[in-house]
Structure 1
Amino acid sequence: MNAVAVLLVLADCATLVAVCLDHGVGWLWGGAVAGAVLTIRGAWRLYRRRLWLSWLQDLPRSAASTALAFALLTGVGLVAGAPADGLAAAQWAMIAFALVIEPVRWCVFWFGRWCRKRFDRCDRTIVVGAGRVGVTLARTMLEHPEFGLRPVAFADSGPHPDREPPELEIVDGDLADAIVRLRAGTVVLAFSHTRESPLVDAAITAHRMGCSTLVVPRMYELHPDGPGIERLRSYPLMRLGTSPTSRPTWWVKRAADLVLAAVALVVLSPVIGLCALAVLLESGRPLFFRQVRVGMDDRTFVLYKIRSVRQSGEDDSQVKWSVVGDSRVGPVGRFLRRTSLDELPQLWNVLRGDMCIVGPRPERPGFVREFSAIHELYWARHRVPTGLTGLAQVHGLRGDTSIADRSRYDNYYIANWSLWLDLRILLMTAGELCCRRNR
């Protein structure tokens, strides 16, 4: 499915090289032309993964992105006072690119459709919902392989009684197991006639398994095209974002976490030492506190904190909820909790890879089981690594606050994750620590 996107990138690059050489564009101007064109066309999602390989449908977006790159390069050249001959050569090269690239893109789309039909270059697909819409979608995929989807199973309790479905396996059980067993790369969420389909659970499961997820929207007959909307013949399909951990930018996040955690541990080591000394003077040893928490994919790890609660015999921290006014917390412990200094040893957890700087806060296994049974989609928080701070915490949801609200904020964070969102949360965390808001 990504092959067409790769071919489009290669076509643009080859065409840029050809027109720049033909018009005598120098290396500096050639790099500027290529950078402007490829960046803007990439930002406008011309290299996106797609079902409908329609050159005509994509033509307005392609032409507009090239025109914007032309205007941007011209404006920068004029403001910077660039030599007129170099700028003119770059402009003519971009005009030639705009004329040459569209026939090339038409050939790429035609070749993509031909390969899908001729060589069955299609994603193995599970259709969630064997009702009228699901059966029609599956039959459309089989009749039109040029859209790049090949149905291999329905996930439902049974087919629609009034429609003869294609001869596909019916999966009435664990969707994750079916995805692995059938080597499915795409999950399409339709509607079911026999029961209320847990479509949100199915979407999160597909997301977690790294599948491309397409959703038939409600009132799909009236749904317009737009960003993130695919077309399977007359059916609109909303494409959900991929799992954050599968994106290239997640590696940037991990690298930034390692650098920030290492620097913070070195810089804040005197602060950690003073906090540990204060705990020693107030209540003796141990200075640090270890606790089992649940991380990504329900894996457990040992979390480290500076101890803020006086030791009183048996350790009940795994099953007892921490509340404001706990008599076991002394003045030093209250100060550590109020300033979040007791959390600093978790920077070591970040270095080890147990946690990230930003993410849903980790919880103890017993409470995870309890909250997952009570609160809808609490279990879905564990699709990404846990964090030192998170979106729920900067909105005042820490300590003895609503678990349902925390879950909603955490799932919103995962669905909308970006490096910019992480930076916003870090800035809001700094504001929380400095201004003592929501405490």
Structure 2
Amino acid sequence: MVERTSSDVVWRGRDALGARQGRSEVNGVGSATTSPPVSRWRHPRPREVSWRDALRRVNAVAVLLVAVDAGVVALVCARQPPGWRATALVAVALLGARGACRLYRRRLWLSWFHDLPRSAGATALAFALVTCLDLVAGAPPADTRAAQWSVLAFAALSEPARLAVFAFGRWARRRFDRCDRTIVVGTDKVGVDLVGSMLAHPEFGLRPVGFIDPEPVLDRAALPVALLDEDLADAITRLGVGTVVLAFSRTRESYVVDSAIAAHRLGCTTLVVPRMFELHQDGPDIERLRSYPLMRLGTAPTSRPTWWVKRTMDVLLAAVALVVLSPVIAACALAVLLESGRPVIFRQVRVGMDDHPFVLYKLRSVRMNGNDDSQVTWSVVGDRRVGPVGRFLRRSSLDELPQLWNIIRGDMSIVGPRPERPGFVREFSAIHELYWARHRVPTGLTGLAQVHGLRGDTSIVDRSRYDNYYIANWSLWLDVKILLQTVGELLCRRDR
């Protein structure tokens, strides 16, 4: 019998050969005991936000911009009504186009001139939409002209109002200290310059409260704000920090990445000074703090409204699939019973989101031998414990169908990183950088790594890289694409 123990995996990982994941099950019930979660200090839990903190974080400038635009739309349509249908079309086209062009985004630089091209483009898009939709609907020419004039009148009235909002926002930040508490990671010249700009120009909305750097470049006395001798996650929680700026540091690159993930997980706005920032152009996700460009990282997937859509679809699709495929599951269970007896369902402890353990359900594909080594042993191709039925279940992935119940319970999602056993999570996290970071979202029945051929006896390094890419780029469309690719893999699976 071919076995691979956890020590083999550690040795191979340190030898840069890449640890490989297999599938292990011996008895019907995996060990119910788990070791302490992995690297908790590196994987902070989302903090609880009080109503005062939530109110303080409200982007007042964005709210005012929405209110101003809505008021101007109402004023224009009231003074020159193009008809109720055309009025609704104008309102939806204007506010929708401006929202799509991200005119209501959070921003550091409250510059009307900088935002004017984007605003003009959004108005032009709304004008085109109103015109095209009226033509398609066959609206009377008088209604079309009235709607077009409403859009032009909106542009003439809204821009001065936006100029006033930006001026008021800058004044309020200076006068009332409406600024985000900010930590800068990195104490080199760039970090010091950024803190100096924040202190001298509060109109950018950042108030520095400290540096964090394991290997500070400058002496503490030379720093404009305090050097904090604590972990970033602890400092964020203790000081009520809302923004983290990642500058340059002499410490290892992985520390900066870990800091970004910690800030991301705690709900902070995360801004990164790009390399070769002197040559960096402005773009949709680029902020400006004086002469420094700052890349704004996206919010955590689980904090977005679309995540609730994902969860709803998970429950609906899993429930329907469980009902429709129940005859298939029953037939597979009968085959397992006839081949190797009971129990039919295999239970094993796996690590889910935020390092929380849960019991994963599968159809058993390995014969029982009375010795439960499922937490430390990997089965590989040619394992004698796997019979013909087990090989078929694994090759077709039918043994994974009971995990639909895990999805309904909330332990897993349909799409996400595949879950692993606690012991191997600890070892992989110690060997491979950012393996721990894949637990920022729920684990999944299928994932981006699996549709790229990384299933069974394949590289853990590559899996981790794909999983973290999935989290950084998550969208509903990415989930749909992975599901379609999964169907293609199941129907036209190649021998890899």
TM-score, length basis structure 2: 0.86
Structure 2 residue corresponding to 1:64, chosen from 109, 121, 130: 121
Q: Which residue of 1 aligns with 2:74?
A: 17
CA distance in 1, matches of 2:145, 2:68: 24
Bigger drift between 372-381 and 194-203 goes to 194-203
CA 1:210–1:95 in 2, change beyond 3 Å: closer, same or farther? Answer: same
CA distance in 1, matches of 2:352, 2:455: 18
What's the CA shift string for 1:257-288, capped at 9, x where partnerless?
11111111111111111111111011000010
CA distance in 2, matches of 1:198, 1:34: 47
How far apart are 1:160 and its partner, in Å?
A: 3.7
CA distance in 2, matches of 1:299, 1:119: 42
Structure 1 residue corresponding to 2:419, chosen from 334, 355, 362: 362
Structure 1 residue corresponding to 2:395, chosen from 338, 344, 347: 338
SS at match of 2:378: coil
* Paired residues for 1:19-418 under 5 Å: 19-157=76-214, 159-161=216-218, 165-193=222-250, 198-418=255-475
How far apart are 1:166 and its partner, in Å?
A: 4.7
What's the CA shift string for 1:25-57, capped at 9, x where partnerless?
322111111211122211111111110000010
How far apart are 1:159 and its partner, in Å?
A: 4.6
CA distance in 2, matches of 1:249, 1:322: 38
How far apart are 1:396 and its partner, in Å?
A: 0.4
CA distance in 2, matches of 1:430, 1:188: 41
How far apart are 1:85 and its partner, in Å?
A: 2.0
CA distance in 2, matches of 1:165, 1:71: 56
CA distance in 2, matches of 1:323, 1:286: 22
Report if aligned partners of 1:191, 1:197 keep a CA contact under 8 Å in 2: no
Which runs of 5 or more residues in structure 1 are unaligned?
A: none
Q: Which residue of 1 aligns with 2:494?
A: 437
Amino acid at match of 1:277: L
Which runs of 5 or more residues in structure 2 are unaligned?
A: 1-56
SS at match of 2:394: helix
SS at match of 1:198: helix
What's the CA shift string for 1:379-425, capped at 9, x where partnerless?
11011111100000000001110000000000000010000000000
Bigger drift between 341-350 and 321-330 goes to 321-330
Identity %: 74
CA distance in 1, matches of 2:234, 2:63: 30
Amino acid at match of 1:341: L
SS at match of 2:377: coil
Runs of 4+ in 1 over 4 A off after TM superposition: 162-167, 193-197
SS at match of 1:169: coil
Amino acid at match of 2:196: R
CA distance in 2, matches of 1:126, 1:176: 11
SS at match of 1:42: helix
CA distance in 1, matches of 2:338, 2:252: 62
What's the CA shift string for 1:187-216, capped at 9, x where partnerless?
000012476672111111111111110000
Amino acid at match of 2:238: R
CA 1:250–1:196 in 2, change beyond 3 Å: closer, same or farther? Answer: closer
CA distance in 2, matches of 1:46, 1:257: 32
How far apart are 1:132 and its partner, in Å?
A: 1.1
Report if aligned partners of 2:350, 2:421 keep a CA contact under 8 Å in 1: yes
Amino acid at match of 1:112: G
CA 1:62–1:430 in 2, change beyond 3 Å: closer, same or farther? Answer: same
Amino acid at match of 1:181: R
Report if aligned partners of 2:98, 2:123 keep a CA contact under 8 Å in 1: yes
SS at match of 2:134: helix
What's the CA shift string for 1:303-331, capped at 9, x where partnerless?
11111111111111111123122111111
CA 1:251–1:391 in 2, change beyond 3 Å: closer, same or farther? Answer: same
CA distance in 1, matches of 2:357, 2:158: 52
SS at match of 2:456: coil
TM-score, length basis structure 1: 0.97
Report if aligned partners of 1:293, 1:363 keep a CA contact under 8 Å in 2: yes
CA distance in 2, matches of 1:194, 1:431: 44
Report if aligned partners of 2:195, 2:224 keep a CA contact under 8 Å in 1: no
CA distance in 1, matches of 2:318, 2:237: 36
SS at match of 2:92: helix
CA distance in 1, matches of 2:334, 2:480: 32
Aligned residues: 439
Amino acid at match of 1:291: Q
SS at match of 1:304: strand
CA 1:66–1:164 in 2, change beyond 3 Å: closer, same or farther? Answer: farther
CA distance in 1, matches of 2:164, 2:404: 52
CA distance in 2, matches of 1:320, 1:312: 13
SS at match of 2:325: helix
CA distance in 2, matches of 1:273, 1:116: 64
Report if aligned partners of 1:158, 1:170 keep a CA contact under 8 Å in 2: no
How far apart are 1:143 and its partner, in Å?
A: 1.1
Q: Which residue of 1 aligns with 2:25?
A: none
How far apart are 1:173 and its partner, in Å?
A: 3.8
Report if aligned partners of 1:395, 1:438 keep a CA contact under 8 Å in 2: no
Tell me the C-alpha RMSD between the 2 structures. Answer: 1.5
CA distance in 2, matches of 1:124, 1:158: 23
CA distance in 1, matches of 2:252, 2:419: 34
Bigger drift between 137-146 and 78-87 goes to 78-87
